[in-house]
Structure 1
Amino acid sequence: MEQTIFQHMQIVRGITEKSIQQIPEEIADIIPNGFTNNIRWNFGHIAYIQEKLVFGVSGEKMILPQAYETFFSAGTKPADWIGIAPSIAEISVELIAQKQRIKDSLPGSLQKRLPEPFTNKAGITFHTLGETFLFSFYHEALHIETIKRIYRAIKN
């Protein structure tokens, strides 16, 4: 079963990687009417939350640059940014590297209990690394759909 889970991660992240490669930098910061965030924020948020759900909540060191928390953590938005957020190209590099770190470090660890239960903003409580890892696929898919909606709104 673990192999199937890691194959699923490859599929989900592959969709994300293909999507980010199709986004021109010049539209990455447009926030269409009805949206709070832009495409850049959504991709950076995917990277940050994946890092937190896989490494942070289990007590492991988070490798992403500190700027990712500042710009892309839950509750942040581009309207509040001070400074320059990572580029689409930089986020793409981090997403690819993150996938490899997960492949290298997680096998055999999915049943590992978290140091303390983690409850997300939706009120869901997780007890194991596998639970947060599996939830991260759902989270990533939600934001890919949001990116598609923002992209369509920009093109229209």
Structure 2
Amino acid sequence: MSQLLLNNMELARSFFIKNVDGVDESIVDVQPEGFNNHIHWHVGHVLTATETLVFGFTKNSTNLPANYMELFARGTKPADWKGDVPSVSVLVTQLKDQLNRMKEIPVESLSVKLKEPLLGQETFGELVNFALFHETLHLGHIQAMKRVIETRKNK
């Protein structure tokens, strides 16, 4: 089961990257009515949330700039962005790098119990699975936003 989780993680991230790479740059910062953020934010949020859940960002991981928490953490929004904001292409490169690091996770570590439950998850594998669920949830938001923006653009 653990190898299946790692395989699904790679599948989901590859699909996420493929979908984000296919988004026209002219719409990534458009926030359609009824949505709290835009595609650019969702890409950074997935990267940052996964880094936090899987690698312990900001306490145990220095793979991303610290300001990513201010830009992309839960509850943030593009309207509040200040300072350097990475482009979507930079974020996609970081998503690819993160995937390579995730592929190095030893299968046996997935059964390790967390010191205390986090988001209702009790093992590291459950936390990785939650990160996978979270990523696909945001992919759905990106796909919906893309469809709404393109539909309104073509009218």
TM-score (normalised: structure 1): 0.89
Partners of 2:14 and 2:80 in 1: CA distance: 30
Q: Aligned residues: percent identity? A: 37
Q: Once superposed, what is the RMSD of the aligned Cα atoms? A: 1.6
Partners of 2:94 and 2:74 in 1: CA distance: 18
Structure 2 counterpart of 1:141: 136
TM-fit CA distance, 1:65: 1.8
Residue ranges of structure 1 left out of the alignment (5+ in a row): 120-124
Q: Find out whether 1:31 has 2:31 as its counterpart.
A: yes
Partners of 2:83 and 2:22 in 1: CA distance: 25
Q: Deviations over 1:58-90 (max 9, x none)?
A: x63252221321111000010111123210100
Partners of 1:106 and 1:30 in 2: CA distance: 39
TM-score (normalised: structure 2): 0.90
Runs of 4+ in 1 over 4 A off after TM superposition: none
Aligned length: 150
Structure 2 counterpart of 1:100: 100
Partners of 2:85 and 2:106 in 1: CA distance: 29
Partners of 2:34 and 2:140 in 1: CA distance: 15
The 5 Å alignment of 1:41-60 reads: 41-56=41-56, 60=60
TM-fit CA distance, 1:94: 0.6
Partners of 2:84 and 2:25 in 1: CA distance: 13
**Is the 1:25–1:87 Cα contact (8 Å) retained in structure 2?**
no
TM-fit CA distance, 1:27: 1.3
